[in-house]
Amino acid sequence: KAKREEKNTYVFYTPSINETLYEQVMIEKYLRQAIKENQFVVHYQPQINLMNENTVGLEALIRWQHPKLGLIPPNKFIRIAEETGLIVSIGEWVLRNACEQINSLNSRGYSSFRLSVNLSSIQFSQRGLVEMIQGIISDTGMDPTNLVLEVTESTLVENIEFTVEQLNKLKAIGVQIALDDFGTLYSSLNYLKHFPMDIIKIDRSFIRNIEYDDRDLAILKTIIRLGKDLKLKVLAEGIETERQLNILKKYQCDEGQGYYFDPPISLKEVQKR
Ligand code: C2E
Ligand code: MG
Ligand code: MG
Ligand code: MG
């Protein structure tokens, strides 16, 4: 193994790149095991109506509990799962699991929470996606109007024609569509009018500095206004402080989620509400 001091003598062999590749290969191997051995869990982050501070929705966020490596966050494995195609079965598992859990919660007399599930671009362009979702809805009894699929801008702009077709099919089975991480790409505002969307989720990078940066505040106000004029629900991601909340309320942002309210929590904790 090359040590740091020996770096200059190994021109074509950089330990850091090698370790990254090794790590990726290991993660892929472990991911296959994880699917077989049921090592994934879904946590839920509450989504709050900012006017009355009621919990109106839950975003399903996958966690990987590895017996030796411990809890692995999605940022560490979703990309590799996408590159290897494993995201298709992982994503389907998340959707089925979350629908089962939240539907049984809703039907046991809890308020009827909306359920949001993230959809990878790999899944979005999969043939049979709509049928797969319809199947899970039928199997679990989940009310499709309470189900929200979160997609990102980069997913949608890959192939505009296909996207419109796919979104229309999804709308036809009754589910809602949320535009996740809004504003992080090039935000071609034009496509908003072509896509049948229900919710835009303002990325937390816009929320982070609204207390201090007038330019961020200007952008935020404009996105909220735009969303409202397009008859979309506007949700702010990553609310961490009371001041951020108050600013968002002042500009009538509909909903929010963030550590100020709750981090992602286990199903057990959700049941306590
Ligand atoms: P996302 O869909 O934008 O989810 C929001 C992320 O922000 C979550 O990270 C959440 O824990 C975090 N977050 C929430 N509130 C705050 C806050 O106040 N401050 C900060 N700093 N962070 C906050 P998480 O759970 O680590 O997930 C990261 C990303 O991984 C997600 O971003 C999503 O893109 C992806 N992901 C998670 N679960 C799934 C899944 O089941 N399928 C797919 N395809 N992607 C998933
Ligand atoms: Mg999301
Ligand atoms: Mg997001
Ligand atoms: Mg994100």
Q: Per-residue pLDDT for the chain (273 aa), expressed as one digit of tens each?
A: 344 444 444 445 555 556 678 888 888 899 999 999 999 999 999 999 999 999 999 999 999 999 988 998 999 899 999 999 999 999 999 999 999 999 999 888 767 899 999 999 999 999 999 999 999 999 999 999 999 999 999 999 889 999 999 999 999 999 999 999 998 876 667 788 889 999 999 999 999 999 999 999 999 999 999 999 999 999 999 999 999 999 999 999 999 999 999 999 999 999 987
3-state DSSP call for residue 126?
coil
> Atom 15 in ligand 1: which residue has the minimum CA distance?
258
| Partners of 151 in beta bridges | 179
Asked whether the beta carbons of 180 and 124 are under 8 A apart, the reply is no
Burial of 179 per CB tally in 10 Å (0-12, 13-18, 19+): buried
Asked whether the beta carbons of 34 and 64 are under 8 A apart, the reply is yes
Cα within 13 Å of Cα(89), Cβ side: 11
Q: Which atom of ligand 1 is nearest to the CA of 82?
A: 44
Cβ atoms within 10 Å, residue 9: 8
The DSSP 8-state label assigned to residue 26 in this structure reads H
**Could you report the predicted ipTM of this complex, rounded to two decimals?**
0.98
Indicate the pTM of the whole model: 0.92
Q: Which atom of ligand 1 is nearest to the CA of 78?
A: 45
Is 62 close to ligand 1, i.e. is its CB under 6 Å away?
yes
Distance 180 CA to ligand 3 centre (A): 5
Distances (CA, A) of 136 to 76, 120, 129, 170, 241: 27, 17, 11, 13, 37
Q: In the chain, at which residue ranges do the beta strands (DSSP E only) sit? A: 40-49, 55-66, 70-72, 114-118, 147-152, 176-182, 199-202, 233-236, 255-256
Distance 158 CA to ligand 2 centre (A): 19
**Closest ligand to the CA of 95:** 1
Token pair, residue 154, equals 């980069």
Distance 238 CA to ligand 4 centre (A): 10
Asked whether the beta carbons of 117 and 149 are under 8 A apart, the reply is yes
> Atom 22 in ligand 1: which residue has the minimum CA distance?
238
**Closest ligand to the CA of 202:** 3
Is 61 close to ligand 1, i.e. is its CB under 6 Å away?
yes
Given ligand 1 and candidates 94, 101, 118, which is best to mutate, with the most ligand atoms within 8 Å of its CB? 118
pLDDT, position 108? 84
63: Cβ–Cβ under 8 A, 6 or more apart, which residues? 40, 41, 42, 43, 71, 72, 73, 74, 264
